[in-house]
Amino acid sequence: MHEMSIALAVVGQVETAARALGEVDGAAPTARTVTLRVGELAGVVPDSLRFCFELACADTLLAGATLLTENVPGRAHCEPCDRDWATGLPPDLCCPRCDSGASELTAGRELEIAEVRWSEPACAAPPKED
């Protein structure tokens, strides 16, 4: 199941970002939600990825974080007739207009972190007056 290796990589990247923010602000924030853009041609099962993400987050700065996924439909472009089309699943890589093979897949293979929402920093207690 390659979803686990993807989940571990995402957790690692977000932890690295959190630590970098902590170096600036003094304390590493925790992540509330992580949103991934997942192309329908990327070969990733979003439900499996969410399950693996939950396991990968244990004992990290992401413990308790939620994984959200945004589906990116597959698209292709035909060079001979300059037409774009939705590839669908299973992908149709022949141009619906001229029946030539797709020259280029233009979308649908994405697998990227789109957004991380951090927890709000705890408010510091006001200093006690003597």
In our burial notation (b when 16+ CB lie closer than 10 A, e otherwise), range 28-52 reads bbbbeebbbbbbbbbebebeebbbb
- Report the pLDDT averaged over residues 62-67: 95
CATH, domain range 2-73+107-118: 3.30.2320.50
C-alpha–C-alpha distance, residues 43 and 90, integer Å: 11
Model pTM score: 0.80
According to the model, what pLDDT value does residue 89 have? 85
Binding-site annotation: residue ranges for Ni(2+): 2
Q: Is the pLDDT of residue 60 over 50?
A: yes
C-alpha–C-alpha distance, residues 102 and 94, integer Å: 5
pLDDT digits (tens, 9 = 90+) for 19-52: 888 877 678 888 999 999 999 999 999 999 999 9
Binding-site annotation: residue ranges: 2, 78, 81, 95, 98
pLDDT digits (tens, 9 = 90+) for 74-108: 999 999 999 999 998 888 888 988 988 867 899 99
| Every domain of the chain and the residues it spans | 2-73+107-118
Binding-site annotation: residue ranges for Zn(2+): 78, 81, 95, 98
Q: Is the pLDDT of residue 123 over 50?
A: no
C-alpha–C-alpha distance, residues 48 and 60, integer Å: 20
pLDDT band at 124; cut points 50, 70, 90: very low
According to the model, what pLDDT value does residue 128 have? 54
Residue 11 vs residue 89, higher pLDDT: 11
